[in-house]
Structure 1
Amino acid sequence: MSRMHKSIIKREFLAMRKGMLFAVMFVLSLSPSLSAQTYSYDYSPLYGPLPLNPLSVARRLSYENFRSIKLLHAAIMNFGGGEAEVNKLVDQYAEASALYFQNRIKESAEAFTRNQIEILNTAKRLALKYKEDTAALLTDSIKLNFKNKFKKNFQEIRQGEASADKYLENAQWSVSRANDFYDRFKDAKAAPSLGLINAVYYFRATKENLFNMVKVLNMDKAQKDEYLAKYKKDLVDNNNKVYESKEKEK
């Protein structure tokens, strides 16, 4: 039974990698026999606050963890541990789901919680990587912008250069939002990963604005293409897609 459910869940995550859309909550919400069950505890106030209902924990994390893995998939493949890291998270998720379907609800809730912590740690590493890369790109792009202006001797500002300044302004706003999310959640011990995922997506938005800034600069096309070629992976990643190198394609 558990092998069958693991296989089903892994196939769904593989389908996700091919861009297919599917239900996030899948089978868990469709089981009336499980939802009708109740659970009791040996509980004393001396031991601290009342523990969470494991059924509620399992159901909530089955949704949250699934969503987080899906949202982080391209980032992990491009700038994280690649397929091995994705498979580790999916295997943990599948194991927790298998326990759920065997009616081992408390063990399932604990397994989903371990999976949540692992996803959170992955999100922390990725958010830091995006933060560092975006800071370097921001510096690089601003230098290019001002060097270009000096070469033009600050002659009459053309439409493209005015647009470039607007893209830079947008990049400053989005990186501020990204850093805010990162700083708030970088030290979290056990929490949903969505805050750090938001940081990753805002760092991507910053990169996108910087690339657009470079594209509209009034400068030599060959120089522009050479500059953007350094960030081929980032350009693909900004669309939440997995980068395929030319060597890998061959």
Structure 2
Amino acid sequence: MTVTSRNVTIEARAFATPVNDPEIEEVIDLISGEVQRATTLIASHQYGELVEARVAMREAIKKGQPRHICAICGTPVHLVANMRKRFFFRHKTEDGSCPAVTRSALSEEEIRARKYHGLRESEAHKRIKQLIERSLRADPAFDTETILQEKRWNATDDPQMWRKPDVQASSSEGWFAFEAQLWTTFLDVVVSRRMFYRDVGAHVIWVLATFSEDYRRMTTDDLLFSNNSNVFVVDEETARLSEVSK
């Protein structure tokens, strides 16, 4: 484990660590029917395995099929991690009826709006979109007419459902949505986009500007371990190499 002043990076095979005094002490597994102690459940998984599981938990909640609920109030719960990458369970929603309090006064949507308003139009974000497009246009496998930035993508069966990927393109292997990840991205955003593109029969590729095995944020781990430990990075050098090698 590498510790820095701002981040903790944990090896994939190391066992996950729960917080010492979680608000939600026990959860019920809705598949097995077992009441499970939260700290024991968390500590029984390797770190990479648990990160992958937390992505699946959030997706299951979005589908209306939660895997775990709070043993006290029966509210669906999912795994979150603090700055030290110690895990605990959090209610999907809280109305004050449960003695376990796991959420701040601001919702994720409010935090996201305050923290990231305008960042998608930053110069850094524009630059990585251009690098992705350059890389795709260098590859004859992709149809150049389908390579588009910030083009609205509607679900065929529900026009009200749509996304606007950073870059989209098609090849003989299907349609692809490329999403740049430069800053912290809420897991809810990652899961929502994964589900949307899967439902429309497309692939979503998350692209980072940098990656260090020894310095990984939680949001990087969410992408890494939910994608078979694969990471895609684009920068000026990789774009140039794509153009040279086609």
Q: Do the structures match in fold with TM over 0.5?
A: no
Higher RCO by CA contacts (8 Å cutoff, separation 6 or greater)? 1
The alignment's TM-score, normalised by the length of structure 1, stands at 0.29
* Structure with higher strand content: 2
* Structure with higher helix content: 1
